[in-house]
Amino acid sequence: MIQQRANMDWMLKDLAEGVPQTRNVVVLSSDGLRMAQYGSDNDTADRLAAACAGLQSLAGAVGAELPHSEGKMRLVVIEMDGGFFYLMAAGAGAFLAVLADEGVDAGLMGQRMRDLVIRIGAHLSSPPRHDGQTR
């Protein structure tokens, strides 16, 4: 498990350093728990992860209104004063979130996030929780 975490940390760092203007990279479970991070302290990563749980739920509800959709969120992008926020589905029960400054190359970010999800998709899956425990 420690080796998998070290590999994930390295890959998150690779994304952050490979896309200029990247501030934070967080991997989270669908219930908003931080699984891995790069570029932020634990408190910041935990706040981003918790906010992402709400966003992915909201995106799924909106997607369910499309006639040929299963309501599964793939990508959410939010543009704000000062930067961008990206949230991408990253395996069963897991998501990849990135906070970036203004001026980030949106195309490069999307490509690098998709590449990362493909590279470490198995590591990004979060098993379902039962009675507060993972199995």
**Residue pair 94/126 in contact by the 8 Å Cβ criterion:** yes
73-107 confidence digits (pLDDT tens): 888 999 999 999 999 988 888 899 999 999 999 99
Q: Measured between alpha carbons, how far is 129 from 10 in angstroms, rounded to an integer? A: 27
- DSSP β-ladder status, 94-101 and 129-130: unpaired
Q: Over the chain, what is the mean pLDDT?
A: 84
Query: pTM (2 decimals)?
Result: 0.83
Q: Which one-letter amino acid corresponds to residue 61?
A: A
